[in-house]
Chain A
Amino acid sequence: MSSSIPSSVSYEPTGQRLPVKTGPLLELENLSTHYVSSGGTRVVRAVDQVSLRINAGETLGIVGESGSGKSTLALTILRVLPPAARIVEGRMLFDGEDLVQKSDAEMRHIRGKRIAMILQDPMASLNPLFTIGDQVAEPIRVHEGAGRATAWQRARDLLKSVRIPSPETRVTQYPHEMSGGMRQRIVGAIGISCEPRLLIADEPTTSLDLTIQAQYLNLLRELQRAHGLALIFITHNLGIVAKMCDQLAVMYAGRVVESGPVSRIFNAPVHPYTEALLNSIPRMGDSAQRLTAIEGQPPDLAALPRGCAFAPRCDRVFDRCRVEAPPEFAPAGRRTARCWLAAADSTPSDMLVQSGTA
Chain B
Amino acid sequence: MKRYVSRRVGYCLLSLFLLSLTIFFFVRVTGDPATLLVEPGASEADIAAMHHQFGLDKPLWVQYGIFLASLAHGDLGKSFYYRTPVMELYLSRLPNSLYLATVAMAFSLIIGIPTGVLASVRVGRFWDRAGKIFTLLGLSLPSFWVGLVLILVFSVYLGWLPSSGAGTPLHLIMPAFALGWYFAAAHMRLTRSSMLEVLGSEYVKLARLKGLPQSLVIAKHAFKNALIPVLTLAGINLVIMVNVATVVEVVFAWPGIGRLLYEGITFRDFPVVQGVVLMGGAMIVIVNLVVDILYAVIDPRIRLGV
Residues of chain A at the chain B interface (Cβ within 8 Å): 78, 80, 104, 108-113, 116-117, 119, 121, 124-130, 138-139, 142-143, 174, 176-177, 187, 190
Check B153 for interface membership: any CB of A closer than 8 A. Answer: no
- A174 B211 Cβ-Cβ under 8 A: no
**What 0/1 pattern do residues 217 to 250 of B give for CB contact below 8 A with A?**
0000100110000000000000000000000000
- B208 A80 Cβ-Cβ under 8 A: yes
The residue of chain B having its C-beta at the shortest distance from the C-beta of A78 within the complex is: B209
- A177 B304 Cβ-Cβ under 8 A: yes
- A190 B221 Cβ-Cβ under 8 A: no
Report A-chain residues with C-beta under 8 Å of the C-beta of B300: 128-129, 174, 176
Report A-chain residues with C-beta under 8 Å of the C-beta of B203: 124-128
User: A127-B225, A138-B212 given. 16 additional CB < 8 A pairs?
Assistant: A80-B205, A80-B209, A110-B211, A111-B210, A111-B211, A124-B203, A125-B205, A127-B203, A128-B203, A128-B300, A128-B301, A129-B299, A142-B211, A142-B216, A174-B300, A176-B306
- A119 B202 Cβ-Cβ under 8 A: yes
CA distance A355 to B216 in the complex (A): 43
The residue of chain A having its C-beta at the shortest distance from the C-beta of B202 within the complex is: A124
Count residues on chain B whose CB falls below 8 Å from chain A CBs. Answer: 23
**What 0/1 pattern do residues 28 to 56 of B give for CB contact below 8 A with A?**
00000000000000000000000000000
The residue of chain B having its C-beta at the shortest distance from the C-beta of A200 within the complex is: B209
Q: In whole Å, how far is A109's beta carbon from the nearest beta carbon of chain B?
A: 7
- A116 B201 Cβ-Cβ under 8 A: no
Query: Which of A113, A128, A177, A187 is in CB contact (< 8 Å) with B206?
Result: A187
The DSSP consensus for interface residues of chain B is helix
- Find the residue from B209, B298, B300, B301 having the highest chain A CB count within 10 A: B209
Report A-chain residues with C-beta under 8 Å of the C-beta of B216: 142
Report A-chain residues with C-beta under 8 Å of the C-beta of B225: 127-129
Show 5 A/B contacts (Cβ-Cβ < 8 Å), sorted by A. A78-B209, A128-B203, A128-B301, A139-B210, A190-B206
Query: Which of A104, A126, A142, A174 is in CB contact (< 8 Å) with B212?
Result: A142
Known interface pairs A80-B208, A125-B202; A142-B301 also in contact (CB < 8 Å): no
- A112 B202 Cβ-Cβ under 8 A: no
CB neighbors of A among B279-306 (8 A): 298-301, 304, 306
The residue of chain A having its C-beta at the shortest distance from the C-beta of B204 within the complex is: A127
Residues of chain B at the chain A interface (Cβ within 8 Å): 201-203, 205-214, 216, 221, 224-225, 298-301, 304, 306
A-B complex: 4 closest residue pairs judged by Cβ atoms: A112-B211, A111-B211, A124-B202, A112-B210
Q: In whole Å, how far is B70's beta carbon from the nearest beta carbon of chain A?
A: 45
- Find the residue from B206, B207, B208 having the highest chain A CB count within 10 A: B206
- B213 A142 Cβ-Cβ under 8 A: yes
- B201 A124 Cβ-Cβ under 8 A: yes
Q: In whole Å, how far is A92's beta carbon from the nearest beta carbon of chain B?
A: 16
Report A-chain residues with C-beta under 8 Å of the C-beta of B298: 129
CA distance A138 to B221 in the complex (A): 11
Report B-chain residues with C-beta under 8 Å of the C-beta of A119: 202, 205-206, 209
CA distance A209 to B151 in the complex (A): 67
- A138 B210 Cβ-Cβ under 8 A: yes
Known interface pairs A128-B225, A128-B300, A174-B301; A139-B211 also in contact (CB < 8 Å): yes
CA distance A331 to B78 in the complex (A): 98
- A111 B209 Cβ-Cβ under 8 A: yes
CA distance A104 to B217 in the complex (A): 14
- B211 A121 Cβ-Cβ under 8 A: no
Q: In whole Å, how far is A148's beta carbon from the nearest beta carbon of chain B?
A: 14
CA distance A110 to B209 in the complex (A): 9
Report A-chain residues with C-beta under 8 Å of the C-beta of B207: 127
CA distance A289 to B218 in the complex (A): 54
Q: In whole Å, how far is A60's beta carbon from the nearest beta carbon of chain B?
A: 18
- B211 A109 Cβ-Cβ under 8 A: yes
CA distance A3 to B127 in the complex (A): 57
Query: Which of B202, B211, B224, B301 is in CB contact (< 8 Å) with A143?
Result: B211
- B304 A174 Cβ-Cβ under 8 A: yes
- Find the residue from A129, A143, A176, A177 having the highest chain B CB count within 10 A: A129
Report B-chain residues with C-beta under 8 Å of the C-beta of A143: 211
Known interface pairs A126-B203, A129-B224; A112-B213 also in contact (CB < 8 Å): no
Report A-chain residues with C-beta under 8 Å of the C-beta of B202: 119, 121, 124-125
The residue of chain B having its C-beta at the shortest distance from the C-beta of A105 within the complex is: B213
